[in-house]
Structure 1
Amino acid sequence: MKIGLDIMGGDYAPKATVLGAIEAYKVLQGHKLVLIGDKEAAIGILREHNFDPDNFEYVHTTEVIGMGEHPTKAVVQKADSSISVGFRMLKEGQIDAFSSAGNTGAMLVGSMFSVKTIPGILRPAITTIVPRLNGGINILLDVGANADCKPEVLVQFGVLGSLMAQSVYGIENPRVALMNIGEEEEKGNLLCQATYPLMKETSQFNFIGNAEGRDLFGDAADVFVCDGFTGNIILKLAESFYVITRKKGLKDEFFDRFNYEQYGGSPILGINAPVVVGHGISSPEAIKNMVLLSKDMVESELVAKVTEAFQ
C-alpha cells in the first residue's frame, strides 16, 4: 500500500507534516508513505531529526495552495501544487490514498474533479468522529462539504455513514438518526420534514428516527445525519470543549477525547478513492493519525462497498 501525504498542507507545514510522517512510519508496518511537496525541505527536516530519508518516497512539487486561496482557481492554476499533484497520482493509481491538512475547499474540488464522485452519489460528504460518554464513538456527517442539501442527499449521507460505521469501525447494523430539534416525526425545518419519510421508507440503513443535539454524545444512535451547515457548527462547538477545559485547568478523560489530534482528519465519502482532510492546525500527532486513518480507509475497502451500494 502507498499513502500519499501532502507535506505542504497546514499552518505548520512542512515541519509538522514531516515530523508526523516520521511518527506514522513507526506504526505503518511495511506500508509505504509518499511525501508530496518540497523534497529538499523534507529531507532537511528528516536529517535534522536523525531520520533516514530513504524510509520515504518523494514527489517534488514547486507550488503550494494557500489556506485562503479560491479552491477551484487554485487547483486549476497551480498544477504543480502538492494538492494537485497528489490527486493526479491518486487518479492514476500511483498511490492508494491521499491525505492533506491543507485547503479543505481545494481537497473537495480535487476529489470531485480528479478522482470524481462514485456513480449515483449526488454529493460527497465530510465525516467526523465524536466521542461517547461510555467510551465509544459516533459518526456525524456532513460537517462542511454541503451547506445546503436536498432530502435525497441526506438519505445518501445515511447510507455513507452506515457503511463507514460498519467497514471502518466494525459496528454491526449501525443505527442512523436524523439530527433535528425534536424527536417527533413532524418536527424540524422543511429539509428535515421532507427527509424523515424518505429515511423511514428506505431499506438501505437502520433508521431510528430523529435525534437532538443532546443525543450526540450518548448511545442513542451510531450515525447522525445533517446538512453541512449544521454539522460544521456542531463540529466547531465540540472542538471548543477541549480548548475550554484546558484553559480552565480541568483534566477530564471524556473532554480530552475532543482533542482533534486523536482522530487525525475527516474522510471525504462518496468519491472513487480514499481521501482524508486534516485540521489546518494539525500537529505531528494529528498528521500521524490522519495517515493511519487513510490506511484504515484502504484496508476496509470502503470505496468498493459504497460503489456496490449505489450500483
Structure 2
Amino acid sequence: MNIGLDVMGGDFAPLEAIKGVRRFFENHPDTAVHLTLVGDTEKVQPHLSLVDTWKDKYTFVHATQIIEMDEHPTKAFKEKPDSSIAVGFGLLARKKIDAFIGAGNTGAMLVGAMYSVKTIEGVLRPTIASFVPRENGSFNLLLDVGINADCKPEHLVQFAQLGTMYMERVMGMSRPRVSLLNIGEEEGKGNILAQATYPMLQQATHINFIGNTEGRDIFLDKADIFVCEGFVGNIILKMAESVYHIFKEQRGVQDDFLDQFNYELYGGTPILGINAAVMIGHGISSALAFENMIVNVERIVQTELISAMQQEFTS
C-alpha cells in the first residue's frame, strides 16, 4: 500500500508532518505501508534526518509550490499545478498512490478531490464526516460537517448511506443506527428540510434509521450516525473544539471524556463519496494527528471501502 502525504500542509509544516511520519514508523514497525511524501525539497530536507532509519519505507516527490491557507481554493489549485496538493492529487489520479492525506488548505483539498479523482457515479454530493466522542468512551459519526451548507433531502439520505458504509466496513460496526439531527424527537419536527428528509430515511432499506435525535444526544449512545446539513454540522464541530480548548487548554481541567475531544486522536476527516481514499487534517495538526491520519486512511484502503461504495451506488 502506498499512501501520499502532503508534508507542506498545516500551520507547523513540514516539521510536524515529518515527525508524524516518524511516529507512524516507530509505532508500527511491521507495517507494509510505503509513504510518498510530497513537498518542497529545500524546506523539507533539513527535517528528513528524523526518518533516516526508514529510508526504504518512503519516497520523496518534489513540488515547487505551496497553496497557502488563505488562498482561494479553486483559483490556487488551477494556478499552482506544481503545488504539493496538486502534485499529490495527480499521483492519486494516476494511481501511483492508493490514498492521499494532508492538513493544508481544506478547500483546495476538496477541489483537488473533485477535479482529480471525481465523485463516485451515482453520488450526488461527497460529504465529510467527523467523529464525536461519547461519554462512554466510544464515538459517534457526524456528517456533513462543512462542505454542503445547503442540502436537499436526497443529499441527507445519501450521507446516511455513506456514513453507514464507513462505520460498517472501516469501523467494523454491524447495522449502525442512523438518526436525523433535529430540534425534537417527534416525526414532523424541524424545518422544511428535516420534515422532507424524515420519510425518505424511513423508506431507505439500506440504512438502520431510528428517527430524530436532538443536539443533547450527540455525546450519548442513542445513535451511531447523526445526519445533518453541513451548516449545522460545522457549527457543532467548531463548538466542540471550543469546549475542549476552553476547559482543557485554558482552565486545565483533567477529565477522560474531555480528553476524547482532542481532534488529534482521530487524525483527520475522510471525504466520503469520491473515487479514492482522501483524508483532510486540521490546520494545526501536530505529529500525533499526522500519525493517526496515516493509520485511519490505511484502514479505509484495507477494507476496500471505495470499491464497495462504487458498487453500491452504481448497481
Is the 1:97–1:273 contact (alpha carbons within 8 Å) kept by the matching residues of 2? yes
Is the 1:101–1:278 contact (alpha carbons within 8 Å) kept by the matching residues of 2? yes
| Superposition deviation, residue 36 in structure 1 | 0.4
1:65 corresponding residue in structure 2: 67
CA distance in 1, matches of 2:54, 2:209: 50
CA distance in 1, matches of 2:243, 2:304: 33
| Superposition deviation, residue 137 in structure 1 | 1.1
CA distance in 1, matches of 2:53, 2:14: 15
AA in 1 matched with 2:22: I
Q: Could you list the per-position Cα deviations for residues 41-74 of structure 1 after superposition, in whole angstroms to 9, with x for gaps in the alignment?
A: 3232122676554542011000000111111111
AA in 2 matched with 1:285: L
| Superposition deviation, residue 176 in structure 1 | 0.3
Q: Could you list the per-position Cα deviations for residues 181-240 of structure 1 after superposition, in whole angstroms to 9, with x for gaps in the alignment?
A: 000111001111111111011101000010101111111110000000100000011112
Which aligned pairs between 1:157-196 and structure 2 lie closer than 5 A?
157-196=159-198
1:144 corresponding residue in structure 2: 146
CA distance in 1, matches of 2:240, 2:303: 27
1:283 corresponding residue in structure 2: 286
Counting matched residue pairs gives 311
AA in 1 matched with 2:94: E
CA distance in 1, matches of 2:290, 2:50: 19
1:108 corresponding residue in structure 2: 110
Pick from 67, 81, 91: which aligns with 1:89? 91
SS at match of 1:147: coil
CA distance in 2, matches of 1:74, 1:303: 27
CA distance in 2, matches of 1:96, 1:52: 20
Is the 1:25–1:33 contact (alpha carbons within 8 Å) kept by the matching residues of 2? no
CA distance in 2, matches of 1:15, 1:107: 20
Pick from 111, 116, 128: which aligns with 1:126? 128
1:99 corresponding residue in structure 2: 101
CA distance in 1, matches of 2:66, 2:154: 36
SS at match of 2:234: helix
Gaps of at least 5 residues in structure 2 are none
SS at match of 2:91: helix
**What is the TM-score when the length of structure 1 is the normalising length?**
0.97
2:255 corresponding residue in structure 1: 252
Pick from 285, 294, 298: which aligns with 1:295? 298
1:9 corresponding residue in structure 2: 9
AA in 2 matched with 1:200: Q
1:24 corresponding residue in structure 2: 24
Instruction: Give the percent of matched residue pairs that are identical in Structure 1 and Structure 2.
Output: 55
Is the 2:2–2:98 contact (alpha carbons within 8 Å) kept by the matching residues of 1? yes
SS at match of 1:79: coil
| Superposition deviation, residue 40 in structure 1 | 3.8
Gaps of at least 5 residues in structure 1 are none
**What is the TM-score when the length of structure 2 is the normalising length?**
0.96
CA distance in 2, matches of 1:52, 1:309: 39
CA distance in 2, matches of 1:288, 1:38: 20
2:235 corresponding residue in structure 1: 233
| Superposition deviation, residue 39 in structure 1 | 2.6
| Superposition deviation, residue 241 in structure 1 | 2.1
1:269 corresponding residue in structure 2: 272
Which region of structure 1 is more displaced relative to structure 2, 50-59 or 246-255? 50-59
Relative to structure 1, is the Cα distance of residues 98 and 271 closer, same or farther in structure 2, using a 3 angstrom cutoff? same
| Superposition deviation, residue 171 in structure 1 | 0.8
1:306 corresponding residue in structure 2: 309
CA distance in 2, matches of 1:140, 1:203: 20
| Superposition deviation, residue 286 in structure 1 | 0.7
SS at match of 2:81: coil
